[in-house]
Each structure stands twice: as C-alpha cells, then as structure tokens.
Amino acid sequence: MAIIDEKLVAKVVGEVLARLNNQPAKTSSTHSGFGVYEEMGSAIEAAQRSFEKLRDGGIAARKKAIEVIRKLCVKKAQEWGEIEFHETKIGRLDHKIEKLKICGVLVPGVEMIDRMAFSGDSGLTVIDHAPWGVIGAITPSTHSVPTLTGNAINMIAAGNAVVFNTHPSAAKCAAIAIREYNQAIFSETGISDLLTTVIKPSLDTFEAMCKSPLVKLLCVTGGPAVVAAAMKSGKRAVCAGPGNPPVVVDETADLDLAARSIIQGASYDNNLLCIGEKEVFVVASVADKLMEALRKAGAVHLNANQVEQLAAKAFLFPKGQGVGCPHPDVNRDLVGRDAAVLPKSIGLDIPPSTQLLFGETKEDHIFVDEEQMMPFIPIVRMPDVDTAIKAAIKAEHGYKHTGIMHSQNIRNLTKMAQEIDTTLFIKNGPCMTGLGLGGEGFLSFSIATPTGEGVTTPMTFTRSRRCVMVDNLNLF
C-alpha cells in the first residue's frame, strides 16, 4: 500500500472544508451552493431546478455533464482517494484510488438508454425511457465517492438530477467531490446543481428526503437497516443491499488459481466490497491443498484458537446477550483494517505486507454467518460439492447478492449458478471480475439485490413512457 502523508492529507481536507464553510451553502431558492447545502429542502429544490435545465439541454447536455464527471474522477482519483481514506480510515488507499479511476471508464452512459417503436395498420407507437426528475440517493461509508460517482453518471445519463444523503462518516469527501463536479459541469453546461447534498447528513435529512414530493425515486446503497427504512418510506426504492458472498471450491478446481483469486477478492479494499469473498466451502478431499495454496500465495493461516480470539474481538453483542445472540454487530474498529492490524488485537505480529488471513472453522461459525468486512476469511471443509453448495446458499442468507465458484466441472458450475440464485455469479476468478474489473461487462457500485434491478445502469433510473398515434405516422 502506498504510504500516505497523514499531515498533508489532513491539511488538504482542512483547507477544502474551510473553503466550504467560508462560502456557506446558500439556502435561498435562487442561488447555487454548487451542490452543498445546509438544509435538505434547499438541496432538493436546487436539484429540481437543475433537472429542469438538464431537460432543456437534451441528450447533448447529459453527455457533456457525464464527460466532465468521467474526466474529473480519473484526474482527482489520487487526491479524493486520500481524502476519503483519511476521513473514513477504512480500506486501502491504492484500491480507493483504483475504484475512482475505473468509474471513468467502466460506468455506462447515454448509449444504454433504450427505445422502441411499433409501426402497423393502426399507426405508430413509440416507447421512450424518460427521467424521473430528482432521485434521492443514499451512499455507504465503504465507498462514498466511487458510489456517488457511479450513481451520478448513471442517473444523469437517464436525464435526472440527484440529491445525496451520504454516510455521516464519509460525508466530507462526498461534499468535496460533489462541489467540484458541479463547478466543472457548470462551466461546460451552465447547470450548477445536478448533484446536491447536505453538509451534515443524518436520519432527519434522510426523512426529509423521503417525505419530499420533489424526490420521485430512491436509490439506497447500504446494509439491512437502510434498505428496510427505504422500503417503508412509501416511495419506490432501488435497493442495493448487503451481501455475504460464499465461495465453493470443488475437487476439480485449479487450486492455485482459486487461492490467488480468493486472496485478490477478499483482500480488495480490505474486504469492504459487498461482492467480496466472505467465506469458503471447500470439498474435503482438496481442503488441505487449497490451504497450502493460500499460504503459498501469501495469506497467513490462523490456528483454531487464534480464530476464536479474533472472532471475540471482531463481533460485539448487544448488552446482556452473549454469543448466540441473533444480531451481533461487527466491531467498527476492525472493519476495513489492514490484515496485519487484525492479529494485533489478539497480540500476534505478522508481516506488514500480508493481504489476507484465513482459518478453518465449522459451517455455523460467526465468521461464516456474518458479513465481516475485514480481511479474514473462514475456510469450511465439506464432504462433497452438493453439501458445499447447500451450505453456501445458507450462508448467503437469501440476500440474492453474489456467489462464487471454482470448478472445472460444468455440471457443478451450472448447479450452483441455478440454485444459489444470486445477482452475480462468478466462476473461476475473483469477485471484482463481476463488475468489469478483469471480467467482461460494466461497472456500478450500486448492485440492486432485493429489488432485482441488478448492477444498476442508466436504464435503472428511467420510467417507461408510451406515446401512441392512431391511424397515422406509419410510413406504408
């Protein structure tokens, strides 16, 4: 990981925030704060005005705005990656930078917007995919600026403006990016507030967003609580919810490739990705060989006692309830921390270059059941592939998020693909190939799982509208 000059980053964040604070967000309905407002109502009204201007500017204005975002997220990847890393203190700087750079090339734009026409004896019917207007987007702490960047490209491509309620612990980096995106978009299009937010997002500003009649659609990226809250709001919500992606390794797998893929995927941004490998079910006949391959590829093997000690530190239980409580909380002090930091919590020193820790557990272990979001992965020995697939389906909890398999057996691959029923199913590679990084396809950091839209695209943020001309305008 690149070494960061903490003081320099603190200085940059301080300067940018001072600029934000010294140019207070205008709350009047006529002036722009370049997207950053004190009140949610002002942020929504500004987005509505910008939506109307974008509509007047047509597809050409959408293209210009998207082009600005693509260029800026690549140009600012290093600076914004450092600011986000400094603010959230989770994940890895090199991956924060990469996640921003890939937004510039892998997130689709206006070319994804579909249209249809039906011409016949009764005339001509056209189906267009129109914008909603202002979309309310809720973003996670795990990738604040990348998620908002991907949402911005997708939503503007579809003709919308966006108001963000960002995660409070990743709100400053988001405000900085929103402000700079708007300034750059303004100089190209004359539209100043296509992306808006509030300086201090909270549950109250979330409520205000949900209640506003100007917000026509919600897009939520986060864990179970925010998905439940959005679904109760009464508004239509595109929900990119939690995952707990299992990996199955069968006896036909290329074990060296499987080990390298598991390390690459589960250590990416210190396992903050919702698609990241979270537990492995391996057929017993190759379990020892897989663990040997993991060690050979640089992962550090914890023994049973060390795994239990780490589990005791990694999960917290509501007061008065011990292990066995159905809803433990992940210890936020260990979420997204470096692999070398985790063992320190149990008094163990390992090489600082270590990317991933692993250890053998039973199928019902807390590390299997919970979305740990830290670079430790449990390995579970299973008697055969069918039992492994069943266990993987149980560990996935019906989130319909991501499943991964390493196998050369087409029947086994097909069986798991069909039975696990996840939005992403990845074969013989690390998780990020499912989002176009090393695999084919496009990127979004909002993968709509419980609501079924999948990896979100501009089309996700459109309304289908049909226009019918009776008995005329057909050309025959």
Residue 228 Cβ vs ligand NAD, minimum distance, rounded to whole Å:
7
Residue 401 Cβ vs ligand NAD, minimum distance, rounded to whole Å:
6
C-beta closer to ligand NAD: residue 153 or 291: 153
Q: Read out DSSP for 212-252? A: -TTEEEEEEES-HHHHHHHHHTSS-EEEE-----EEEE-TT
The dihedral of CA 99, 102, 106, 111: what is its sign? positive
Of the candidates 417, 366, 427, the one whose C-alpha atom is nearest the C-alpha of residue 393 is: 417
Residue 97 Cβ vs ligand NAD, minimum distance, rounded to whole Å:
18
Q: What is the DSSP letter of 440?
A: S
Residue 423 Cβ vs ligand NAD, minimum distance, rounded to whole Å:
8
Q: What are phi and psi of 164, to 5 degrees?
A: -105, 135
SS3 content of the chain, % helix, strand, coil (to 5): 45, 20, 35
Please check whether residue 392 is in contact with residue 243, taking contact to mean a CB–CB distance below 8 angstroms: no
In the bound state, the residue with its beta carbon closest to ligand NAD is 222
Please check whether residue 144 is in contact with residue 167, taking contact to mean a CB–CB distance below 8 angstroms: yes
C-beta closer to ligand NAD: residue 283 or 368: 368
Assign 259 to helix, strand or coil.
helix
Please check whether residue 331 is in contact with residue 341, taking contact to mean a CB–CB distance below 8 angstroms: no
C-beta closer to ligand NAD: residue 152 or 297: 152
Residue 57 Cβ vs ligand NAD, minimum distance, rounded to whole Å:
30
Residue 300 Cβ vs ligand NAD, minimum distance, rounded to whole Å:
25
Site residues, ligand NAD (CB under 6 A): 138-142, 166-168, 203, 206, 221-223, 225-226, 229, 240-243, 274, 371, 445-447, 449
H/E element, 42: helix 40-75
Q: d(Cα 464, Cα 129) in Å, to the nearest integer?
A: 5
Please check whether residue 315 is in contact with residue 379, taking contact to mean a CB–CB distance below 8 angstroms: no
C-beta closer to ligand NAD: residue 68 or 229: 229
Token code pair at residue 311:
């589990």
Which amino acid belongs to residue 98?
A: E
C-beta closer to ligand NAD: residue 42 or 151: 151
C-beta closer to ligand NAD: residue 185 or 210: 210
Residue 221 Cβ vs ligand NAD, minimum distance, rounded to whole Å:
5
Q: d(Cα 154, Cα 238) in Å, to the nearest integer?
A: 13
Q: d(Cα 215, Cα 165) in Å, to the nearest integer?
A: 12
Q: d(Cα 368, Cα 366) in Å, to the nearest integer?
A: 5
C-beta closer to ligand NAD: residue 49 or 143: 143
C-beta closer to ligand NAD: residue 198 or 226: 226
Residue 420 Cβ vs ligand NAD, minimum distance, rounded to whole Å:
16
Residue 306 Cβ vs ligand NAD, minimum distance, rounded to whole Å:
26
C-beta closer to ligand NAD: residue 259 or 274: 274
